[in-house]
Chain A
Amino acid sequence: EVQLVESGGGLVKPGRSLRLSCTASGFTFDAYPMSWFRQAPGKGLEWVGFIRSEGFGGTTEYAASVKGRFTISRDDSRRIAYLQMNSLRTEDTAVYYCTRDYGDVEYWGQGILVTVSS
């Protein structure tokens, strides 16, 4: 069974940094791209970015709203995908979801809340 568990969320002040982790199980982690999505309170879904598998170069793509501030990485030996969030803004407050794949996403984590507030 595919499982994705996010961790590392919480309350952080504007301008500070936070790193989310996504621990995966139930599939061959290094063969799949991994993505992050988010959903601000009461708002719709928003794509954050994804990282390709090492077999496809391990390269990344980001939404314009986070490019230059957020970085997605992966540790295939530990089966973990990361979302490093720097220079956080109040508008980054959201539930963040980790997913397997980047398109036609069947597997989502349960989501983790990040609140950016002074």
Chain B
Amino acid sequence: SYDLTQPPSVSVSPGQTASITCSGHKLGNENGCWYQQRPGQSPVLLIYQNARRPSGIPERFSGSISGNTATLTISGTQAMDEADYYCQAWDSNTAVFGGGTKLTVL
């Protein structure tokens, strides 16, 4: 099976930049996306096609890809950004999620 690997947790101070990585050997060939999920809420699409942002998503969220690693970057992190973040990609008509990263804003 195809796996996407994320760090379980990332900590950041308010106003600083947080980076969350997602590694998978097919990521360089497939478009991936990122979701944010706050406790008790449904996921929210943050980034699609590796680097595109849906309307309504703040510009402080950005995505990039280098080789087989996708990165979600949050600039000027705010307390409200404390949440779980998931990367997701496709493998032969099967959706695969990373294990999720808990972002703590200290």
Contact = CB atoms under 8 A, between A and B. Distances in A.
Interface in A85-118: 97, 102-106, 108-111
Interface stretch (A20-28, A41-49, A68-76): A41-49
Interface in A34-75: 44-47, 61, 63-64
A74 to B, nearest CB: 18
B45 A104 contact: yes
B49 interface: yes
Interface residues of A, number: 17
A103 B95 CA distance: 8
B100 A110 contact: no
Nearest to B35: A45
Interface string B33-64: 10101000011010011000010000000000
Given A45-B100, A61-B94, A63-B94, A104 B33 contact: yes
A108 B42 contact: yes
Nearest to A98: B42
Contact of A44 (B45, B93, B97): B97
Query: Chain B: interface secondary structure?
Result: strand
A85 to B, nearest CB: 18
A106 B86 contact: no
Given A97-B42, A106-B54, A108-B43, A45 B37 contact: yes
A104 B42 contact: no
Interface of B: 1, 31, 33, 35, 37, 42-43, 45, 48-49, 54, 84, 86, 88, 90, 93-100
Given A44-B99, A47-B97, 10 more contacts: A44-B84, A44-B86, A45-B88, A45-B97, A46-B97, A63-B94, A103-B90, A104-B33, A104-B45, A106-B54
17 contacts: A44-B86, A44-B97, A44-B99, A45-B35, A45-B43, A45-B86, A45-B88, A47-B97, A61-B94, A63-B94, A63-B95, A97-B43, A104-B48, A105-B35, A106-B45, A108-B42, A110-B42
6 smallest beta-carbon distances between A and B, as pairs? A47-B95, A104-B48, A108-B42, A44-B100, A61-B93, A45-B97
